[in-house]
Amino acid sequence: MDKLFLSGCHLSISEDSFHIEAPSHFAAYALRRCASELAISAKKLKRKRAIISWPGCDRPYRIPTSILNNHSTMTTPQPQNETYFLGADYLRVTDFIRERREEGRIVVITSMWNDVCLHTNDLLNPERGILQPHQWTGFNYRYLWRDSRDDYNQLIDTLMRDRYIPQYQYSLRRPDGTFALYETDYYLVEDYLNVPVRIGVSQVDAWQLLPEPSER
């Protein structure tokens, strides 16, 4: 298994299990799709199963080594179309970015593991986002969700379930401290340069300033 997929995980061994504590639910979900590799690791360690957990979970993923005796695995390739982007490779994502830019739309790619921005295009102007486009690369979006955690949690839960969310409306605390409402189409991609990401596609003018929550 690629070591990048275990980045941030705590590994341990019990009497009969190989334990992987992932840093988030999504990271655990991504690891679960490497079930065969985890089962092989558990078998090499002479354990009966691999167990994947994450902070706050009450039902961890349990992967018995017995799945290695079956021909089927938990990593069946997924269909791919304009709204189901789960199995897209790097070149497909690059084409997608270019096509959306030609349509005049903002594209932002954010890590699902740590919410760090990996890419944005030149259409994310300071009027909408305060920062210059190049300043967003490496920026941690998690800080901007601090006053809208319900919107954030709904985004992650829905994206993990449906893989695509059209016209998702959410509020963010902008870098200058102002509060704003945005609308974005979100796509889930499980392996963009070895990182699971969400791709946000927005109309340039699909936002508006909001009053402070206490003033509504």
What tokens were used for 212?
């402070």
Whether residue 139 sits in one domain with residue 189: yes
Same-domain pairing of 105 and 189: yes
Eight-state DSSP code of residue 57: -
Question: In the chain, how many domains are there?
Answer: 2
Rounded to whole angstroms, the Cα distance separating 169 from 173 reads 14
Q: What is the mean pLDDT of residues 9-34?
A: 86
Tokens of 68: 């290695």
The arithmetic mean of pLDDT across residues 32-52, rounded, is 87
pLDDT at 82 over 50: no
Q: For the ranges 46-55, 73-82, 146-155, which has the lowest average pLDDT?
A: 73-82
Q: Check pLDDT > 70 for residue 215.
A: no
Cα–Cα dist 30/156, whole Å: 13
Can you tell me whether residue 31 is helix, strand or coil? helix
Residue 30: is its pLDDT beyond 80?
no
- The percent of residues above 70 in pLDDT, for the chain, comes to 87
Q: What is the mean pLDDT of residues 189-196?
A: 81
Q: DSSP assignment of 64-129, as one string?
A: EGGGGGSS--S-PPPP--SS--TT--HHHHHHHHHHHHHTTEEEEEEETTT-BEEEE-TT--HHHH
Same-domain check for residues 101 and 180: yes
Q: Does 97 map to a domain? A: yes
User: Are 137 and 42 in a shared domain?
Assistant: no
For the segment 15-44, the average pLDDT, to the nearest whole number, is 86
CA proximity to 22, closest of 33, 9, 11: 9
**Least confident segment among 78-82, 99-103, 148-152, 169-173:** 78-82
Residue 85 is assigned to a structural domain of this protein: no
Q: Is residue 44 part of a domain?
A: yes
